Chain A
């Protein structure tokens, strides 16, 4: 699976949009981009995933660049409960388990 690069940490003001970047320049054509988050002392929570089109669900939006070498997870109105470590993972669907990197620690500040 392709490697991903994320900033170590980010801050976001409560109520503002949180934009979390992820670089995956070695992604191959059949690899999906998955986003999970882990709130302290809990199991990871699935957020969203995509292949090449932008995706949106009730939690977030995923913007994937046209060349697929990077993506951005957008939390439109961050709340204090969105404080967590966010993981961007690239993998081929149906074949391999998720392999976690270090992720981005997002702190939402009141």
Chain B
């Protein structure tokens, strides 16, 4: 399957600082990427859809000014958590849509980034 990477894998930061998480599709171009977050023992929750060259689409309840998404190229999307607070501590996972196979549309996921805000 396709490979999606994330960096960093884990980050610890102080409250009030901003943290940037990168998501890359390594062996395919992804016009669409997705950002999810996951709290302990909970399922993944979709935060936003990131489209290359255009503004991201955020899910209801997700603050677009707090979670800045940039999708500047076909292989890179970034999520910046601005002015992070302890309640932003979570597991953030990106996903990229691979459309190379005709008639299908499979999402591949990165390994996730664990954010801890002190």
Chain A interfacial positions (CB closer than 8 Å to B): 32, 34, 36, 38, 41-46, 49, 87, 93-95, 97-103
Contacts and interface: CB of A to CB of B under 8 A. Distances in A.
Secondary structure class of chain B's binding surface, majority of residues: strand
Secondary structure class of chain A's binding surface, majority of residues: loop
Interface stretch (B11-19, B66-74, B76-84, B106-114): B106-114
A46 B109 CA distance: 8
Nearest to B94: A43
B49 interface: yes
A46 B107 contact: yes
A4 to B, nearest CB: 12
A110 to B, nearest CB: 24
Interface residues of B, number: 25
B107 A102 contact: no
A5 to B, nearest CB: 14
Given A41-B91, A102-B43, A46 B111 contact: no
Among A43, A93, A98, A101, max chain B CB count under 10 A is at A43
The 3 closest A-B pairs by CB, nearest first: A43-B109, A93-B105, A94-B105
Contacts of B107: 46, 97-98
Contacts of A38: 44
B41 to A, nearest CB: 10
